[in-house]
Structure formats: structure tokens, C-alpha cells
Amino acid sequence: MFLLLIVVIVLPADASDDRQYTALHFGASINDYIAFKYNMAPFQDSFSICTWIKRVDTSASSPLVFDYEPSHEILLSSNGRYNHFLADGDLNRKESVFTTPVGSWFNYCITWSLASRSINLYLDGNLVGTGTTDSGRALKMGGTLYFNILYTTSSSSFIFGGQLYQFNIFSKALSSADVKKIADGGMCLDLTEFSGTGDLRWEYILSQSRSGSVREVEIDIDDNDTVECLKTLLRRSQERLTNVTGRLNETESQLSGTEVKLNTTLKELGYVRGELERTESELQTESAQHNKTGEQLGTCSTSLTSTLTHLDTCSTSLTSTLTQLEGARTFHNITRWDVLYTTPYFNKVLTEELFQQLSSSWGMLGKFVGVNITEGVVNHFSQFHKEPVCNVFKQMSIPMLSKLY
């Protein structure tokens, strides 16, 4: 895990650092160039351009390293023939001070500010020329930046055809001491301390599209720069190591916290697993109970069907019983002597057989107590010498003989 984290942290810094030691080699054709737009507003009132230049091709009479349009607002040559800034040509025709041999690197810086109106040209940290811009003259905006060609012509006389390294435009006029420090620091010097907001950095130029045979090359460091480069490399390595160590310690702390959280999570997962197993067991029990309940419901369904059939039978029986009860209610409400008007008894001699039928139908003739009856009927019934009958009739009133005829 730690090795992976180190790779993630260190590799981007190494990759970026490698590009800081990459130069651009321009061919001698008009098709070999770089061109792009850039917001030049940070440089409107002051700027400094510093770069390392190596002359390779010597066929061009006026080799232009850089041309900022519109109208050649800034021209920078590698042999001193054209050094044109904000319409000032005081630094043109300076071939005599560009004495570095072909094939060797030299440091080139110019500085300018609107307040001072002064343009200063430095070679290898030494002031070799000055110029003056018009009062109130600021840098024009909206132009395009060109490298290795003159924008308005296709002539090969203006092709640089050499190598360029660490081309930076700073948004302030560097002091002579700053320029000297950059030159003496060599090609490996870290320029971070001179940088400001809105600067055009070399890394940005390296990221732009290229035309023709423009390519990246490793810089050829002179022996005089070796010690400084080694010091710079050592310092940067120490800074990266400190940075990586800090991040590694932070990562270890985070991993320690993560390990604690992981252990807690594992315990929670163990508890959850136990709960899941318990729930699964309960579900199995519930499933068995469900199956049993289903069987019971099936039995209940059969029993319910049988009960419904029985209820249908009971309903029929109840209907019949209700009919019987209605008949019995009607029978119970009739006058007891009215029974004598029915077919079995009306106009018939009350024989013992009929008496028995009447007695069994009514239960007891005592129910006739209080019913009006004639004396003739009483006498008629008395011939049977039935003691219960006589006793009953003796308790009845005599009037309303008409009820019998």
C-alpha cells in the first residue's frame, strides 16, 4: 500500500521536473514554428523576458526567436540584429555584443516598465544596451505569440533554427540583481522566486501545439553549470523528499485511522451477519409455521364448506320450524272451544276416542277454564264419567250455548 502511495505522490513531481530540463529545437524551415494566443494584460505596464538561447543554424541573416503581434510589438533576435520593443528600435543592430559562439548557450533578458519608459537588454547577466519608449506607451493587447518566424513574411532570412530553453515572461521589471542571479544560477536555477500572477511560464509553451519539425530535446548543460545543476537537483530532491515524507506520514496517520474504522466495521459486520443468520432461522421457522397454517386453513376450509352445507340444512329446517311455529302460534291464539268446530269434532258425539284425541292434542282440558259453555254441553260430557272432565266443566260458566251450534 505504501509503495503505491509513494508512486502516486512522487511521479507527477518527477514528470513536471523533467520538463523543466527540456529545450525546444526549431528547424530552419518556415514551417517550423509555434504560434498561440495568450492574455497579455499582466504585461501591459511592465514585463521582463528571460530565456536561454543556443544558435545552431547560421544561414539566416536576421534570426528571430520571438515575434509578438500586432505590428511586431516585440521582436527578439538571437544575433542582435533585431531587438524591437513597443516601437522602439534603439536596441537594433547590436550584433557586436552577441559574441557567444554558435552551439553554446547564453542567457538573454530584457526588462521594461511604463513608469520608467526604459528598456534594458542583458546578456549573461550583463547590461549591454538600453532604449526608451514613448511617454504613456503601453503594451498592445490581443496579439499572437510566434516562435521561430517573422509573422509578416515567408522569407527564411528570419528563421531562428536553434534551441530555446526556459522562455519566461514575468509580469514585472526585474532588477539588475535579479537578472544577474538568473544568469549566474545557470540553466538549472529554480525561477519560482521571480514568478508572479499571470506570468507566461516555459511549461505552458512546451504544452502548445507545434508545426513542422519542432521537437523537444534534452538540454546540453555546460561544465560550468554542472555544480549549480547538481545543487539545484539536490535541493529539489530534498524538497520533494520532505514533501513526500510529510504526505507519507499523513497517509500513515489516515491509514491508522482507517484500520481502526475497518476493525469497527468488521465487528459491526459480524454482528449484522449474526443478525442475518438469526433472521434466516426465524424466517425458516415462520415458513414452516406458514406451511402448517396453510394446511390448517385447508382443513378449516373443508370444515367451513361442511358447516355451510349444514347451515343450509339448518336454514331449511329453521324455515320449516318457523312455519310450524307460526302455525302453533296461530293455533295457540284461537279460542280453545273453537277446536270443537273443526272437522274431527263438529256435530259429532264426543266419544271417548274423540275425547282422547282432544285431550292429547291440548294436553289437559284444564285449558278450558274460564271459557263459556252451556249446561247442556256439561251434561253431555258428564255421561263419560270422567272425573277430570267433570271437575273442569264445573268450573266453567253456563252461558253462550250458541258457541256449540
Q: Report domain extents, the chain.
A: 22-218, 336-404
Give me 252's grid cell.
Answer: 500513515
Q: Poorest-confidence range of 152-156, 162-166, 350-354?
A: 350-354
Maximum average pLDDT range among 158-167, 184-193, 339-348: 158-167
Model pLDDT for residues 32-42, shown as the tens digit of each residue = 999 999 999 99
Higher-scoring residue by pLDDT: 319, 344: 319
φ, ψ of residue 70 to 5 degrees: the values are: -90, 150
CB 189 within 8 A of CB 232: yes
- The torsion defined by the Cα of 82, 85, 90 and 93, in degrees rounded to 10, comes to -10
Q: Poorest-confidence range of 128-132, 230-234, 252-256?
A: 230-234
Higher-scoring residue by pLDDT: 316, 128: 128
DSSP string covering 241-287, please? HHHHHHHHHHHHHHHHHHHHHHHHHHHHHHHHHHHHHHHHHHHHHHH
pLDDT classification of 318: cutoffs 50, 70, 90 = confident
Higher-scoring residue by pLDDT: 18, 251: 251
Task: State yes or no: pLDDT of 218 exceeds 60.
Answer: yes
Q: What is residue 173's predicted lDDT score, i.e. its pLDDT? A: 96
Residue position matching grid coordinates 284461537: 334
CB 113 within 8 A of CB 85: no
Question: What is the overall mean pLDDT for the chain?
Answer: 79
Q: What is residue 292's predicted lDDT score, i.e. its pLDDT? A: 85
Q: What is residue 126's predicted lDDT score, i.e. its pLDDT? A: 97
CATH number of 22-218: 2.60.120.200
Question: For 103, left (φ over 0), alpha (ψ -120 to 50), or beta?
Answer: left
Model pLDDT for residues 225-247, shown as the tens digit of each residue = 666 666 766 776 787 788 888 88
Alpha-carbon torsion (228, 230, 231, 235), positive or negative: positive
pLDDT classification of 286: cutoffs 50, 70, 90 = confident
Higher-scoring residue by pLDDT: 251, 124: 124
Task: Return the percentage of the chain with pLDDT > 70, whole number.
Answer: 71
pLDDT classification of 27: cutoffs 50, 70, 90 = very high
Q: Poorest-confidence range of 157-171, 257-271, 291-305, 385-399?
A: 385-399
Higher-scoring residue by pLDDT: 359, 210: 210
| CA distance linking residue 157 with residue 155, whole number of Å | 5
Higher-scoring residue by pLDDT: 389, 34: 34
Q: What is residue 315's predicted lDDT score, i.e. its pLDDT? A: 79
Higher-scoring residue by pLDDT: 312, 135: 135
Task: State yes or no: pLDDT of 300 exceeds 90.
Answer: no
Q: Taking residues 285-307, what's their average pLDDT?
A: 83
pTM for this model (two decimals): 0.56
Model pLDDT for residues 59-94, shown as the tens digit of each residue = 999 999 999 998 889 999 999 998 989 988 889 899
Question: For 112, left (φ over 0), alpha (ψ -120 to 50), or beta?
Answer: beta
Q: How is residue 121 annotated by DSSP?
A: E
